[in-house]
Structure 1
Amino acid sequence: MVSLTLVRRDAINTVTCPHGRAVGVWSLMSLSLEQVVKIAPDDASVAAGKKLMGPANWQGLGHNTETLWGLCRGSATYQVKVDLGNLGYHCSCPSRKFPCKHVLGLLMLFAASPNAVSKGEAPDWLSDWLQRRRSREEKKAARETETAGPKKPADEGSQQRRAQARESRVSEGLVRFDVWLKDIARNGLASIENKPRSFWEDQAKRLVDAQAPGLASRVARWATIPRSSPDWPLRLVAEIGRAKLLLCAWQGINSLDPSLRSEVRQCLGWTISQADLEEQGEHVDDTWVVVGQWIDDEDRLRVQRSWLVGRHTNRTALVLQFSAGGQPFDESIVPGSEQRATLLFYPGTALQRAKYFKREGTVAAVTSRPPGAATIDAFLASVAEQLARQPWLTAFGAVLHDVKICPRNEAWLVVDRENRGIPLSGRDHWKLLALAGGHVFDLAGEWDGHALRPLGMYVDDGFRVL
């Protein structure tokens, strides 16, 4: 595997902003060519970036302990800059994609041919940009420090009235939704087998109007279930059953314990403020391995799903990031890397979703096997335990040790040492089979209760991003 080593400034005095985000500079970071591909906004950008990997497309290439730079020649000459402190970047081109093909091309070039980029002194146009970035970071940290102080007391009466108004609106919307579910049950699943996508989307829009966007997203996804597999009726009934359970939980919300009450509200679409998250969430310090990542495009919203595993705690975490209008994600999370960090887990009974609270130390390539389940039965037992705590979970991070994959009829299975198997999502896994080379390996992925989406593998003492 071709690797790229990015050297960061020594973090002697790392400063942490009030919300935990480190604004110091790190020491060492390793990226593979596959990992560079993962930060691209789409496949077209990857293809365009690869066309710029040749040194003939560049002039003035260079790097130092802080930055990587180059002038890309094309219809015009563009200044391309990468901050090795946090993988921030800038290009003078007018592209609306982030990162653009020029930034990707420069990173790919450095990954594939590091000797083509000489070490040197940064040009003035790069130094000016880096200085402005550092200045903005310092000003932002100062503003956050100021706003973290005492605030003007909120109008508790107004807040309470707004909260009661939303709860009333949600309750009214859920009553109408319950009638819709009963109509489906009364008419039978055969009546909805050929319903258009709008049948589900219209109901989802009604739930959005009722201020229950979390439940609306679930209902919108039901449109993909009918006729998707031979057992689609069972899958749809299970989803309807979970939705009915959520309605019952809302009706008795005041009798639930605080953690489960928080889960129900989050499932319906309530968000948690940063202040409440820091006060009620759980801080977990560990060396966190990014074992998998994929991006889901939902209309004009991109959702990045990153699965992390703690080396010492064996905890699994799901970090979600959202981007609208083609904007870059806030955090740079590279699959196949690991770093000492503190994660802040959202309050509730699931303790699955988390966000970075503080990142420190070295960001390095994964060179030893991540923690995981020894058998598939052990993994499924952990899934059952999570569902017992929170029955509305829809995805689970998985690292399966010592497995192999094999085709079975028109599907693929991942099989463990006990010859127990679960299906893989998708129909083409010949590349995964070839990478394994006939040997057992560790497979990381996302389990949705029906199939495992492969996201990464540990084989031959190295981690490969899928």
Structure 2
Amino acid sequence: MTQQGVRWTADQVLALAPDDASRTAGSRLGSAGAWSRTGSSREGAVWGLCKGSGATPYRTVVDLADPSGPAFRCSCPSRKFPCKHALGLLLLWSGGQPVPPAEPPEWAGQWLTERRERLGREQAGEEEKAEGSAVDAAGGAADPEAARRRAERRAERIGAGATELEQRLADLLRSGLASAEQSGYGLWEETAARMVDAQAPGLAGRVRELGAIPGSGPGWPARLLEECALLHLLDRGWLRRAELPDGLAATVRGRVGLTGTADGPPVRDNWLVLAQYDTADAKLTTRRIWLYGTGSGRTALLLSYGPVGRSPELALPVGLALDAELSAYPDAGRQRAALVERHAPPEPTPVRPPGVTTVEAAARYGDALRDDPWLDSVPVTLDDVVPTPDGDSWQLADADGGTALPLTSSAASRPGLWRLVALSGGAPVKVFGECGHRGFTPLTAWPSGAGEAVPLC
């Protein structure tokens, strides 16, 4: 937002919510009755006082003008980011409620001024750091030999861990898959800990996923065997990585946990925010943001992380476009990217990503498996599909009735499915999501004809 007249939609605001509870609570605060002394500036700030349970209202301010993304400040004790008050204030503003242009009050103006001064200092520091790195590189101050030795030592540890894991998989198959259900999860956790000691977090994560399969429902032995085979393939890929093509070798390194750096040439584009959603484990919250380059036609994935219980700070509203430069990581598909520089805040755009049929989507996933056999899914936009029931589940069928893709079990149980069904009303819609061996997970949809993007996650 660079001008006061450019406003987000309610769906774009709610896409920032860290969870469903915040989304619901924020929606309740999106009316004028909860707010007083609201105001906005042409520089892209919105503020107001929100009535709470105590005598003192909460002071809430949102800075939307910074290219690094929206920033939030609220005097409430919530640890969620953004809190329900920030969401409610943005909903009030996005709905055209009275948020008049004004000079910010002292408490809001002070935070905005300090924040922008700090960002200016950080930017200057980053530029100085980059200049210093260039000088070091030119002068040979770094020690490439020491870095090479560290990399070799870690590779040896990962190799030892992969060899040990191969033996444990062989023992499991020798004793029979039924023994996995009797052993309990402790055996898998102990094996995962050994992979962490070997500095192979990717192997550790896949081992923990194996531990959740035994006893998980009908057909679990077949699923366990399939995942064991993929883990065996990853082990062998690491142990014989010198014989692999460069792209596949980079993918193997990434899968075991050596992500490397984003070394691809920076690509500046107007990046449409296709979807944003969080997943969490016992230690970390991971945010996935899918982008589509409206000029380059490339699809990119941004990953950001936050401590358990708190969402990551990077937040981009679905349906807006961001003028930015991205650099790809070195894997075979080169879809994961790093945000190098933003040139303007996110703004509305009428552009939609091009779509394919359900048959083409399945073929795209099959093609991607040649470069990355461990790939769970690929990003795909489906054109002209209709959500239809399929027994106890749902599917997305081509409008011509030819073929369909089943929805994943997790997607079929999400509230977003009913938003998709309501948006369609039996008519074809455009849907972006992830297509893989478990089915299709819809993340965002667009109605036929004109209309804003509707987040489904």
Q: Under a length normalisation based on structure 1, what TM-score does the superposition of the two structures give? A: 0.87
Secondary structure in structure 2 of the residue aligned to 1:170: helix
1:101 equivalent to 2:72? Answer no
Q: How big is the shift at 1:46? A: 2.5
Secondary structure in structure 2 of the residue aligned to 1:115: coil
Tell me which amino acid in the other structure corresponds to 1:410.
Answer: D
Residue of structure 1 equivalent to 2:377 = 395
Q: How big is the shift at 1:330? A: 4.0
Secondary structure in structure 2 of the residue aligned to 1:45: helix
1:449 to 437, 451, 454: 437
Tell me which amino acid in the other structure corresponds to 1:54.
Answer: S
Whether the 8 Å CA contact 1:311–1:371 is kept in 2: the answer is no
Residue of structure 1 equivalent to 2:185 = 197
Whether the 8 Å CA contact 1:444–1:455 is kept in 2: the answer is yes
Whether the 8 Å CA contact 1:401–1:443 is kept in 2: the answer is yes
Name the CA distance, whole Å, in 2 between partners of 1:231 and 1:30: 50
1:217 to 202, 205, 213: 205
1:38-437 counterparts in 2 under 5 A?
38-66=15-43, 67-74=45-52, 75=54, 76-86=56-66, 87-112=70-95, 114-149=96-131, 150-151=135-136, 153-193=141-181, 196-228=184-216, 230-273=218-261, 277=262, 280-361=263-344, 363-373=346-356, 375-416=357-398, 417=400, 419-426=402-409, 427-428=412-413, 429-437=417-425
- Runs of 4+ with deviation above 6 angstroms: none
Name the CA distance, whole Å, in 2 between partners of 1:314 and 1:229: 41
Residue deviations 1:232-288 (CA, integer Å, cap 9, x gap): 444332322221111112112223343332222111111324xxx2xx324333332
Whether the 8 Å CA contact 1:289–1:339 is kept in 2: the answer is yes
Distance 1:246 1:367, change over 3 A: same
Whether the 8 Å CA contact 1:197–1:223 is kept in 2: the answer is yes
Tell me which amino acid in the other structure corresponds to 1:388.
Answer: R
Q: How big is the shift at 1:230? A: 4.3
Residue deviations 1:349-383 (CA, integer Å, cap 9, x gap): 1212112223335633353432121x112112221
Whether the 8 Å CA contact 1:403–1:415 is kept in 2: the answer is yes
Whether the 8 Å CA contact 2:287–2:311 is kept in 1: the answer is no
Whether the 8 Å CA contact 1:110–1:117 is kept in 2: the answer is yes
Q: How big is the shift at 1:298? A: 1.2
Secondary structure in structure 2 of the residue aligned to 1:248: helix
Tell me which amino acid in the other structure corresponds to 2:113.
Answer: Q
Q: How big is the shift at 1:41? A: 2.1
Whether the 8 Å CA contact 2:322–2:347 is kept in 1: the answer is yes
Q: How big is the shift at 1:57? A: 2.3
Can you give the 5+ residue segments of structure 1 that lack an aligned partner in the other structure? 1-6, 10-26
Name the CA distance, whole Å, in 2 between partners of 1:135 and 1:431: 42
Whether the 8 Å CA contact 1:68–1:83 is kept in 2: the answer is yes
Tell me which amino acid in the other structure corresponds to 2:2.
Answer: R
Percent of aligned pairs sharing the same letter: 36
Residue of structure 1 equivalent to 2:8 = 31
Whether the 8 Å CA contact 2:286–2:312 is kept in 1: the answer is no
Residue of structure 2 equivalent to 1:12 = none
Q: How big is the shift at 1:328? A: 4.9
Can you give the 5+ residue segments of structure 2 that lack an aligned partner in the other structure? none
Secondary structure in structure 2 of the residue aligned to 1:203: helix
Distance 1:164 1:95, change over 3 A: same
Secondary structure in structure 2 of the residue aligned to 1:285: strand
Distance 1:43 1:431, change over 3 A: closer
Q: How big is the shift at 1:393? A: 1.8
Name the CA distance, whole Å, in 1 between partners of 2:369 and 2:202: 18
Name the CA distance, whole Å, in 1 between partners of 2:36 and 2:286: 36
Secondary structure in structure 2 of the residue aligned to 1:342: strand
Tell me which amino acid in the other structure corresponds to 1:169.
Answer: R
Q: How big is the shift at 1:348? A: 2.4
Distance 1:97 1:379, change over 3 A: same
Secondary structure in structure 2 of the residue aligned to 1:177: helix
Whether the 8 Å CA contact 1:285–1:340 is kept in 2: the answer is yes
1:465 equivalent to 2:448? Answer no
Which is worse superposed, 295-304 or 248-257?
248-257
Whether the 8 Å CA contact 2:25–2:84 is kept in 1: the answer is yes
Distance 1:349 1:98, change over 3 A: same
Q: Under a length normalisation based on structure 2, what TM-score does the superposition of the two structures give? A: 0.88
Q: How big is the shift at 1:296? A: 0.3
> C-alpha root-mean-square deviation of aligned residues, in Å?
2.3
Residue of structure 2 equivalent to 1:13 = none
Distance 1:454 1:227, change over 3 A: farther
